Structure 1
């Protein structure tokens, strides 16, 4: 084969890969478990009840509400990552209960029996519905903590930037700068800037966050490089703390001491 033929063949292969990426990119971003999770009581979760949240675009989505022990405890709005469902966060719910926190765990549309399909715009509405539910309950802004897990960090940052006076603190677990940056890292030969629909551009929004920020990350994260967390910290204008486990990978922050680090942060930063 001539060099020209090889080059054309390579371009066609890249073009085919690009077309597949554009058509199926949602399957590369969102990995929902569609099975509805059991009721919290059947999972042994105490002080937890299932709630239904109504989104601005008319969906009814599941959430789990962990009751706070008193009216002074932090209440976390937990925005989970791109895989699984609330079932896979049952251990995290119990961990928060032991810390003496309240929490509202939002389950994304298209996950765990929820109607709809995930997208950046849709999940933004889901996150806003969670914050609105806490506000409707009368939880004071100083007690509300936005906790984003991986993909959920984009929505924690977005909410805190949109409503800077509505939250007392932000915790970002394994955050990334943008989906475009991740796509360029994992698919360097493809024109991701032309193909990607959902951008999740946290780097451009974090400067509008006013609440104190804690970034939790693992030095051995091969999915989201720790440099992205450091870039977010550098761009932030609010008070920011960076905690990094030298041994943790992407999904190992909690077991590596991240919960304890967050507890100490909230004691320092919440009134």
Structure 2
């Protein structure tokens, strides 16, 4: 009996080890479910937008949509979620620019026709590339970064390393490791996950106003993760609690007015030439 139980335990341990190995090897496919669906701004019916191709310092080419701002308006750099595409965010591109604001919506490496394969380091390089392109023509005092889901980690890190006027986080997490641990509770995620986007560890370095919005019924990134990140964030900061809203519709279901007000205050501050830092 003891020998039989020992063999059973070894077999189960072997199966567990195989499962862990498979998850480790395939983790980036799970974290970045890339889509090659590519669409032009014209196909998305985005009037005033143009298609761009940006080249990163490491030689990748990034597909992007760009609409320049009207005089006195801010420029938003938008970083989408891990399952997003430019096409899936075409309505947001329209909503965020209908008052004359500029928008650069970037497709990460490996997504929507951009070359390369996504990694945390690679996405940070993509963000820096987008930032550098915009700031060739526009002042940082009018620049707002908008991160959605996975993109919140990209936006937070960029905001800790470059000057911006405002940071918008839509359904943010403390780290992607924390999110993964909710699903793969039986795996030592903190030890094995390669790309953890640890926003909680760095958000206190942000020196610009922050708007965080999170739905209370988010099935992907728990609402309490957004609350915890907000508590760690420096002032000035605003938290928008969206009752009954899920993961990917915060802007559409109550968030757009908060975003308009937040960006409008930045535009007013820039017009008055007031400092962008608290």
Smaller-chain TM-score bracket: over 0.9
Aligned counterpart, 1:44: 45
Mapped contact 2:41–2:51 kept (Cα < 8 A): yes
Unaligned runs of 5+ in 2: 270-278
- Superposed counterparts of 1:74-93, under 5 Å: 74-93=74-93
- State how 1:116-265 maps to structure 2 within 5 Å: 116-137=116-137, 139-163=138-162, 166-265=163-262
Indicate the residue corresponding to 2:66 in structure 1. 65
Offset at 1:97?
Answer: 2.1
Q: Work out the CA distance in 1 between the residues paired with 2:11 and 2:160.
A: 46
Q: Which runs of 5+ in 1 are unaligned?
A: none
Counterpart for residue 23 of structure 2: 21
Does the aligned pair in 2 maintain the 1:66–1:93 contact within 8 Å? no
After TM superposition, give the deviation of residue 100 of structure 1 in Å: 2.6
How far off its partner does 1:171 sit?
A: 0.1
- Partner SS for 1:215: strand
Paired position in structure 2 for 1:10: 12
Encode CA deviations 1:15-43: one digit per residue, 9 max, x unaligned. Answer: 11110111100111111211322x21232
Per-residue Cα deviation, 1:101-147 (whole angstroms, up to 9, x for no partner): 1110011111111110011011111010000011111x111110000
Q: Work out whether residues 142 and 266 of structure 2, in 8 Å CA contact, stay in contact via their aligned partners in 1.
A: no
Per-residue deviation, 1:55: 0.8
Residues 207, 238 of structure 1: 8 Å contact kept: no
What's the TM-score once normalised by structure 1's chain length? 0.94
Taking the aligned partners of 2:248 and 2:43, their CA distance within structure 1 comes to 25
Residue 84 of structure 1, CA deviation: 3.4
Counterpart-to-counterpart distance in 2, 1:250 and 1:12: 36
1:181 Cα deviation after fit? 0.9
Aligned pair count reads 266
State the distance in 2 between where 1:61 and 1:190 align. 34
Contact kept, 8 Å, 2:167 with 2:211, in 1: the verdict is yes
Structure number with bigger Rg: 2
Paired residue for 2:274?
Answer: none
TM-score w.r.t. the length of structure 2 is 0.91
